[in-house]
Amino acid sequence: MIILNSGRKLQIVLSGAITTNTLHITVGYTDKRVADDGLYGGYGSQNSVSNNTTDVDICDAPKSGEIRVIDTIHIYNRDTASATVTVKSDESGTEFILVKTTLATGDTLTYEDG
């Protein structure tokens, strides 16, 4: 389970420059907040594209007082060459690698909670 708080976001970075096409990323999540009558929240998603060797935020941190539970992550390599992808969390500037893998052309890296 991946949980974000107001100081933690998800990022992607490639180990090298793309050849032709950026990678497409979709993250689905559930925001939850504690209230007097219990835990409640809503669903959302965020789309982004890779940016060569520069970190890209693929899921922003939630608002203060909320947590964001990551339900799904889909990273599709639409480039004409393989791409080495690193997915990491950034917690107030400290990075934690979640996965690093190479995707062949047309491959999708998928994470599903549970």
Strand order through the sheet with 8-14: 56-59, 8-14, 83-91, 94-103
Tens of pLDDT along the chain (114 residues)?
999 999 999 999 999 999 999 999 999 999 988 665 556 678 999 999 999 999 999 999 998 888 899 999 999 999 999 999 999 999 999 999 999 999 999 999 999 998
Give the global pTM: 0.91
Which residue type, as a one-letter code, is found at position 94?
A: T
Bridge partners (DSSP) listed for residue 73 = 27, 111
Domains in the chain, CATH or no CATH each: 2-112 (2.60.60)
Task: Tell me the pairing of strands 56-59 and 38-49.
Answer: unpaired
